[in-house]
Amino acid sequence: MTHELKKIIKEYQSATSKGLKCVLATVVALDGSSYRRPGVRMLILEDSRMIGAVSGGCVEKEVVRQAQTVFTDGIAKIMTYDGRYRLGCEGILYILLETFRPDKLFLDTFEQTILSRQHFKVLSYFEKKEGPNADYGSKVVFGHDRLPFSAGFNGQETLQVFQQIMEPCIRLFIIGAEHDTVQLCIFAAMAGWEVTIVADPSEEKNIMDFEGAHDFLGILPEHFPLHKVDVHTAIILMNHSYSKDLKYLLTLKNITPLYLGLLGPYGRREKLFNELMELSPEISYDFLDGIHGPAGLNIGAETPQEIAISIVAEILSVIRKKEPMLLKNKEAGIHD
């Protein structure tokens, strides 16, 4: 969800530079099931443009219509949307509509929090009933600071509170600079991940060669920024070079990323592991067992695009601690 809020903040700054007012829509409660869970947000601009979505596309026009009173009087409100008769989700959405006007302190604090990869918390105050209420609205907790989405909002602690912990965005290091790297970068960026491309300096490539990339490092294996690897970081080795992959594994052997993937067939992986243990006898079996190689889920992927999808899907399954399966075979709810 953090990457969605990042985009909303960026679009808000662009809109206000043009003199446009903004209203934020947040799903704060749900009875039954829906396409998205509480915590999803959408920014509505005064010209009726929308950034983000609160459903699969069915609810958005009604949200824009309901937001017009907030644009007019500045008073937050709760709207409900009953999908039991109009959608395939059989749920009732409770959507908080509030003026979105964060001040400079909020924007600066948000930017610093994102850069330092710290978590933060969003508190939204509301009641589960339709209608306006000047005490409805949201604050963000940055450490010891509580800063509102709209300057001047305080919030009533007696109201119901929707609380959402916002973790740092997933950071993905893609080590390699071939065509399949480009495809993986595109899909990972679409998912809102912060993608860093790591390439050998001899490749003579730059960030412009990788659509959606957040950063580009033209470095040798021994210069890999190990200090940037945290519990929200995934790494995938796709050099198409045995010697380079071996050097990187030697560099990465003492860290524990969220996910470490290795492109290539089973036999290549075993050969790498055997040579790795010869060069570094003290290497732990936990490190080797934690490597996902061959990387990706077994979905019959053949093209670079399909392989990228299988790798993104595997990383998500590891992050969410979910065993991949067909949803039609899942008896519980989709999001359970």
Give the model confidence (pLDDT) of 83-113 as tens digits.
Answer: 655 555 567 889 999 999 999 999 999 999 9
Confirm whether 325 is domain-assigned: no
The residue from 166, 201, 222 where one domain ends is 166
Token pair 């699969």 is at which residue?
56
Confirm whether 336 is domain-assigned: no
Q: Same domain for 262 and 192?
A: yes
pLDDT at 330: 67
Give pLDDT tens digits for 226-254.
Answer: 999 999 999 999 998 999 999 999 999 99
pLDDT-derived band at 315, boundaries 50, 70, 90: very high
Question: For residue 296, what is the DSSP state?
Answer: S
The residue from 137, 166, 195 where one domain ends is 166
Confirm whether 47 is domain-assigned: yes
What single letter denotes the amino acid at residue 277? M
Question: For residue 221, what is the DSSP state?
Answer: G
| DSSP string of 36-77, one letter each residue | S-TT-EEEEETTS-EEE-SSSSSSHHHHHHHHHHHHHH---E
* Average pLDDT, integer, range 268-292: 92
pLDDT-derived band at 1, boundaries 50, 70, 90: confident
pLDDT at 37: 80
Confirm whether 53 is domain-assigned: yes
Q: Same domain for 175 and 274?
A: yes
Confirm whether 255 is domain-assigned: yes
pLDDT at 158: 85
Q: Same domain for 176 and 110?
A: no
Query: What does pTM read for this prediction?
Result: 0.86
Q: Same domain for 15 and 160?
A: yes
Q: Which DSSP helix (H) or strand (E) runs through 279?
A: helix 266-279
Q: Same domain for 156 and 26?
A: yes
Q: Same domain for 138 and 238?
A: no
Spatial distance between the Cα atoms of 67 and 302, rounded to a whole number of angstroms: 46
Confirm whether 142 is domain-assigned: yes
Residue 159 has pLDDT above 70, yes or no: yes
Question: For residue 334, what is the DSSP state?
Answer: T
Confirm whether 329 is domain-assigned: no
The total of other beta-carbon atoms located within 10 Å of residue 212's CB is 17
Q: Same domain for 139 and 181?
A: no
Nearest residue to 76 (alpha-carbon basis) of 118, 136, 2:
136
Q: Are the CB atoms for 297 and 316 separated by under 8 Å?
A: no
Q: Same domain for 150 and 38?
A: yes
Kindly give the interhelix angle for 304-319 and 179-190, rounded to the nearest 10 degrees.
50
- Asked which of 54-58, 144-148, 161-165 is least confident by mean pLDDT, the reply is 54-58
Query: Can you give the CATH number for the domain in which 180 is found?
Result: 3.40.50.720
Q: Same domain for 156 and 212?
A: no
The residue from 115, 132, 166 where one domain ends is 166
| 246: Cα separation from own chain's centroid | 30
Domain limits at 56?
8-166
pLDDT-derived band at 156, boundaries 50, 70, 90: confident
- Asked which of 3-7, 74-78, 153-157, 255-259 is least confident by mean pLDDT, the reply is 153-157
Computed over every residue of the chain, the mean pLDDT equals 90
Q: Same domain for 142 and 231?
A: no
Phi, psi of 268 (to 5 degrees): -65, -40
pLDDT at 332: 62
- For residue 231, give Cα distances in angstroms to 120, 153, 217, 236, 288: 16, 34, 21, 15, 18
Q: Percentage of the chain with pLDDT > 70?
A: 94
Question: For residue 150, what is the DSSP state?
Answer: B
Q: Same domain for 152 and 185?
A: no
Per the structure, the count of domains in the chain is 2
Q: Same domain for 127 and 235?
A: no
pLDDT at 58: 72
Confirm whether 124 is domain-assigned: yes
